[in-house]
Homo-oligomer: A and B are copies of this chain.
Amino acid sequence: MERITSPDLIRNTAEYSGFFDYLPYDALSYAQLHRFDANEFILSEGQIPDYFYLVAEGQAKAYLTHSNGKVSLVNFLYAPCFIGEMELLNAQQKAVALQAMIPVTCIALPMQQCRKSLLQNPVFLRELCIYLSKKADRNSRIYTHNIAYPLENRLARFIQITVHNEIYSERHTEASEYLGVTYRHLLYVIASFVQRGILQKTNFGYKIINHEALKQLASQN
C-alpha cells in the first residue's frame, strides 16, 4: 500500500471522483490517498480498519470464510464506493476480506479524527444512506435472481455486464466463484454457449456472436 499526502493530489482525486461535493472540509483536511496494487489485500478478514475509505478508482472483490473453512466471494466492489462504513458507524460485524483486482486508489479518512465530523454532516450522511440503500437493493435483486435461475441465465447476464468490445474475458476462476458454481460446471455451460453459436472462443476471450440469443437468456429475470 502506497500512501500519498499531497494536498493537491488528494483534492484532485476527490473532485474527479465526485466525493468532494459531500465531504466536510475538516474531514478532508485529514485525508490521505492510499494506493493498492492488483491482488493486494485492502483489508484482511476480521481486520478493524483505521481508515474510512472512499474508493475513487479501481475494483475489488469481497470474500468471507465460512465456519467450515470454505471461502466464498461475496461481491465485487466498483469505484465510486465506500469501505469501512459499518466501522465508521460503530455497527461493525465481522469484516469481510477485500482484495484489489486492479490497482485501487482510495481517499483515506482516519476514523478517529473524522468520525465525529462525518457522522454529524447531513449531506454526507444522506449520500451514505443513498449508497447503502442502493447497495442493499442491488444485492437483494442479485441474490433473488441467483436463487431463481439456473446457471445459463445467470451466466448470460454476467457476460452482458462484463463484456468489453464484444469480448467476454473474465477469469473463469473468478466468475465461478461469483456465480457460486464449480469451475467445471461453468466451463460446461460456456462450452454449451459455444456449441450453440452464442459465443466463439478467441485468443483473448470469448467473442459474442449471437447477441439476441444471449439477450434472451439473460433477460429471463
The residues of A with any CB-CB pair to B shorter than 8 Å are: 62, 64, 66-68, 70, 72, 74-75, 85-86, 89, 91, 93, 96, 119-122, 125-126, 128-130, 132-137, 139-149, 180, 219-221
Contact = CB atoms under 8 A, between A and B. Distances in A.
B141 A132 contact: no
A132 B121 contact: no
Contact of A143 (B129, B135, B139): B139
The 7 closest A-B pairs by CB, nearest first: A147-B180, A125-B125, A132-B132, A143-B143, A136-B136, A72-B144, A91-B130
Contact of A74 (B89, B133, B140): B140
Contacts of A126: 89, 119, 125
Q: How many copies does the complex hold?
A: 2
A174 to B, nearest CB: 14
Nearest to A138: B93
A67 to B, nearest CB: 5
A141 B134 CA distance: 17
How would you classify the secondary structure of chain A's contact residues: helix, strand, loop or mixed?
Answer: helix
Contacts of A68: 220-221
A42 B66 CA distance: 36
A147 B72 contact: yes
A97 to B, nearest CB: 12
A96 to B, nearest CB: 8
A139 B141 contact: no
Nearest to A95: B137
27 contacts: A62-B140, A66-B145, A66-B148, A66-B220, A66-B221, A67-B220, A68-B220, A70-B148, A72-B144, A72-B148, A74-B143, A74-B144, A91-B130, A91-B133, A93-B134, A93-B137, A96-B140, A120-B122, A121-B122, A125-B129, A129-B129, A129-B132, A132-B132, A132-B133, A132-B136, A139-B140, A146-B147
